[in-house]
Amino acid sequence: MIVLRSLMSPVAAALAAAMFATVALPPLAQARVIATEDVAGPTLAAAAAAQEARASLLGVIAREDVQARLRSLGVEPGEAAARVRALSDAEAVAAAQRLPTDPAGQDAAGALIGAALVIFLVLLVTDLLGLTDIFPFTRNAR
């Protein structure tokens, strides 16, 4: 009986503290109604933008002139459309944003010719100014 009394006071103190904590402390969680826009607003907007971007890209692929060009390059239009559908949301939005600003019909050969022309002009000007001695036709007859 003495052993029980010596155990009762610590047990009673712990139970009293637990009951006080459950009643006196404010709850950590609050229940309230949350609007869908508060939770998924940016996600829904991003998904809608990605869907709109994909639709825009697929609309470009559906054009006859684009399909003819794709076939001339060896790409089937159905395969190109499947690749557009397989793009991630971020890739689809980025491609749709770049589409109006990308130059149409520019290829690597055109860029190479432009770079060679710029290099030639720079060397010609430096040769005319006497800074280099590359082209024989720029020298004065002596």
Buried b (16+ CB within 10 A) or exposed e, 45-69: eeeebbeebbebbeeebeeeeebee
Q: How far is residue 67's CA from residue 61's CA, in Å, rounded to a whole number? A: 6
pTM: 0.45
Cβ atoms < 10 Å from Cβ of 96: 20
Q: Report the pLDDT value the prediction gives residue 41, as an integer from 0 to 100.
A: 61
Residue (of 125, 50, 57, 137) closest to 88 by Cα position: 50
* pLDDT score recorded for residue 96: 87
Nearest-10 Cα torsion for 51, 57, 59, 64: -160
Q: Please tell me the predicted confidence (pLDDT) of residue 37.
A: 65
Q: State pLDDT tens for residues 36-77.
A: 666 666 676 778 888 998 998 899 889 888 888 888 888 888
Residues of the chain with pLDDT under 50: 141-142
| CA dihedral for 10, 15, 16, 20, sign (positive or negative) | positive
What per-residue confidence (pLDDT) applies to 142?
A: 44
pLDDT at 12: 82
d(CA 9, CA 35): 50
pLDDT at 47: 81
pLDDT, residue 106, reads: 53
